Amino acid sequence: MVVDDHDIVRDGINLMIDTSEDFVRAGEAKNAEMAILVCDKEQPDVILMDLVLPDNDGIYATKEILRKHPDTRVIALTTFNTDGMVERALKAGATSYLKKNISLSDLADAIRAAYEGKPTLSPEATQELIAATVRPPKPGHDLTSRENEVLELLVEGLNNKQIADRLVISPATVKHHVSGVLSKLQANNRAEAVAIAMEYGIIDVANHS
């Protein structure tokens, strides 16, 4: 099954599928919602999924399809390779990640591999995954949900007592959470913690302006 909003892409891949002895076309779709509906009806073994679709992204469609059809293999097929897209696609359950400039013969091999549960990654995807393993995590990645709440209130300029009143917890508990925030952000004081939170987008600045 091919999911892509460009007719010429779908037609080209479908021609390859139709002329291959070991492939059978199992439908097509031009957006995420259609992909989910067609998959429910046709239940394909392998889906070629464009990640950039007009109504929603292919990662959303991948999650929804695999939630209902966990045995389906999804190959992410895209022109784009933005930061984090490879990780997001694979975490959503995609078996493989390929660029659209792949040759049809290589794409056919990737489909066969996916059917057998074997992943295929483009060189660019492999490079991004390697980079992700050595990339230092963003400050605040390990904040708890409560520490995030406290941090947001620090951004609003509240003191410990005001935070305690807002969250209905004791000032001593607030002090403990503030210490945790400062430690995890490697900040020396509240002002520095707020600055780090804004710089790295840990909190939504627009909601506190």
3-class state of residue 48 by DSSP: strand
Asked whether the predicted pLDDT for residue 206 surpasses 50, the reply is: no
Distance CA 120, CA 95 (A): 7
pLDDT value of residue 72: 97
2-134, what's its fold?
Rossmann fold (3.40.50)
Distance CA 140, CA 4 (A): 36
pLDDT value of residue 82: 67
Asked whether the predicted pLDDT for residue 113 surpasses 60, the reply is: yes
Q: Any idea where the domains of the chain sit in the sequence? A: 2-134, 145-208
Question: In what side-by-side order are the strands of the sheet with 73-78?
Answer: 28-29, 2-3, 46-49, 73-78, 96-99
Give residue-wise pLDDT tens across range 42-88.
999 999 999 988 888 899 999 999 999 999 999 999 887 666 788 88
Asked whether the predicted pLDDT for residue 204 surpasses 90, the reply is: no
145-208, what's its fold?
Arc Repressor Mutant, subunit A (1.10.10)
Question: Quick check: pTM over 0.75?
Answer: no
Burial class of residue 158, CB neighbours in 10 A (0-12, 13-18, 19+): middle
The chain-wide mean pLDDT, for the chain, equals 91
